[in-house]
Amino acid sequence: MNSYPNRIRLVAFLMTGLGSWSGNSQTDVRLRISAPAPDEIRLLWTEDSLVPEPGLQIFAEYRLETSSDLIVWRQVIEPTTKFDMVKHLVTLRTSPASPSAFYRVTASIDLSGANLIGADIQNAKLSGANLFGADLFAANLAQAALTHSDLTAADMRHADLRFTALSHANLFGARLAAAKLQRADLAHSNLMFADFSGTDLIDADLTAADLSFANFAGADLRFARLHQTTINAQTRFDPKWRLVWELVNAGATGSDFRDADLSFANLSEGNLSGGIFFRADFSGSDLTNANLDRANFTDANLRFADFRGAKISESTRINSKWRLVWEILNLGGVDRDLRQRDLSNASLAGANLSGANLGGANLALTILFEANLENASLTRANLRGADLVRANLRNANMRNADLAGANLSEADLTGADLAGADTSGVIFENTIFPDGEQRAIRDP
């Protein structure tokens, strides 16, 4: 089993007679070194809590060490731990004839077995910390830094770990049932025997993590990255997510996956070539950079699937609508004639449609987030409920377009023609209007 570090180190080097130093730390220690007299060295360091206010205040434990060769270190003073603003001043007596010496400050965080039930420690800097067996039930750890930390057997049930950095952490046997881990980074972590039952892992990154003997029964793994993860026969997944794991790690290899539920799955970079996906549900799935060569998507549900960077060939069997969506995303839609075309319920985020003729096109509910529609013609186009957040609509012709319920937050409408357009229920949040003014209203 791999060992995981449980110390955070600041190393500050001072060569007597030169007064130079360097440092690197996760604990945000500020170190000052001076030599007020030929026979005196002063080292001063201060540190704030590892958890910003108003959260629970936690401080590291420090000790000062010295070395003559940067290999063998000995302690100068005893460890100190403070529970308010930490301020250390150490004065050392030296002789001008003394050989050069190096000094360093080490900081460790030992919270093993700590009772942190319900604690507010969000945004904490606890990378490398020892939290072996800690009780973090219902604790708030959102956006905390816990990389390389030891959370073996920790109780994190119902904890808030959204956006938390846990890469290379040791969660062997940890309990995380019903925890919130949306967009958490668990890449390269040891998750053996961990309990993730009923856990929210939406958009979490588990790349190269060891999931052997782990329990993911009932876990929400929508958009979660399961690439290069290690599992065994005892790893518990709901059938849908085990299939997703197989596709991103073993590929389709011409197998039959008809009627499979692959909705909202992260299949990016997966090898789906030759797979039979007749009537399969790929709605909302991430197919970016996936290999879809020779795959059969006959009657498959591809609503809102993301095809950016995907590989599609003439041998790929796919509805003409979705082939067109793929072409726009990967080959471009600049100045393209798309009049009356059905592009509804499609994901065209980031698409370049500048100058395109979309007159009368059906773009209802289509995702056009950050799309470039500059100088495009959208006359009488159906854009009901479309996502046009941050879209570039400069000088677009939108006369008589149906924009009811669309979201144009932060979109740029400079010079656009909205005469006769239906804008009922449209969200204009920080939108730049045709006159060049930015306003935050719901209806112009």
DSSP labels, 398-430: -TT-B-TT-B-TT-B-TT-B-TT-B-TT-BEEE
What is the predicted pLDDT for the residue at 85?
Answer: 42
Q: How far apart are CA 208 and CA 189, in angstroms?
A: 8
Q: What is the pLDDT of residues 151-187, one digit of tens each?
A: 999 999 999 999 999 999 999 999 999 999 999 999 9
pLDDT at 17 > cutoff 70: no
pLDDT at 12 > cutoff 70: no
DSSP-H helix ranges across 231-282: 239-249
Q: What is the pLDDT of residues 335-355, one digit of tens each?
A: 999 999 999 999 999 999 999
Cβ atoms < 10 Å from Cβ of 254:
12
φ and ψ of 142, to 5 deg: -55, 135
Angstrom distances, CA of residue 394 to CA of 47, 91, 375, 416, 417: 50, 66, 6, 6, 9
CATH fold, domain 7-108, is: Immunoglobulin-like (2.60.40)
Q: How far apart are CA 360 and CA 374, in angstroms?
A: 17
What is the predicted pLDDT for the residue at 22?
Answer: 31
Residues 6 or more apart whose Cβ sits within 8 Å of residue 266: 203, 223, 224, 225, 226, 244, 248, 285, 286
Query: Structure pTM?
Result: 0.86
Q: How far apart are CA 36 and CA 30, in angstroms?
A: 19
pLDDT at 47 > cutoff 90: no
What is the predicted pLDDT for the residue at 253?
Answer: 83
Confidence of residue 18 (pLDDT cuts 50, 70, 90): very low
Confidence of residue 34 (pLDDT cuts 50, 70, 90): confident
| Mean of the per-residue pLDDT values of the chain | 88
328 SS3 class? helix
Confidence of residue 209 (pLDDT cuts 50, 70, 90): very high
Confidence of residue 28 (pLDDT cuts 50, 70, 90): low
What is the predicted pLDDT for the residue at 218?
Answer: 98
Pairing between β-strand 86-93 and β-strand 40-47 as defined by DSSP bridges: antiparallel
First to last CA, the chain: 62
Q: Where are the domains of the chain?
A: 7-108, 110-237
Q: What is the pLDDT of residues 398-417, one digit of tens each?
A: 999 999 999 999 999 999 99
Q: What is the pLDDT of residues 59-98, one digit of tens each?
A: 888 777 888 888 998 887 654 444 334 466 676 666 665 6
- What percent of the chain clears pLDDT 90, i.e. is strictly above it? 75
Q: How far apart are CA 260 and CA 277, in angstroms?
A: 7
Q: What is the pLDDT of residues 241-275, one digit of tens each?
A: 999 999 999 999 889 999 999 999 999 999 999 99
- Letter for the amino acid at 158? H
Confidence of residue 27 (pLDDT cuts 50, 70, 90): low
CATH fold, domain 110-237, is: Pectate Lyase C-like (2.160.20)
Residues 6 or more apart whose Cβ sits within 8 Å of residue 37: none
φ and ψ of 326, to 5 deg: -60, -45
Mean pLDDT of 201-220: 98
Query: CA nearest 382: which of 404, 415, 356, 357?
Result: 404
Q: Which residue shows structure tokens 């959370």?
A: 151
Q: How far apart are CA 335 and CA 342, in angstroms?
A: 17
What is the predicted pLDDT for the residue at 298?
Answer: 97
pLDDT at 126 > cutoff 80: yes
Mean pLDDT of 375-403: 98
How many residues does this entry show for the chain? 444
Q: Which residue shows structure tokens 């839609």?
A: 333
- Over 362-375, what HEC string results? ECCCCECCCCECCC
What is the predicted pLDDT for the residue at 105?
Answer: 76
Output helix, strand, coil percentages for the chain, rounded to the nearest 5.
5, 25, 70
Q: How far apart are CA 60 and CA 204, in angstroms?
A: 29
pLDDT at 7 > cutoff 50: no
Mean pLDDT of 314-327: 97
What is the predicted pLDDT for the residue at 29?
Answer: 59
Confidence of residue 444 (pLDDT cuts 50, 70, 90): very low
With contact defined as beta carbons under 8 Å apart, do 49 and 119 qualify?
A: no
pLDDT at 4 > cutoff 60: no
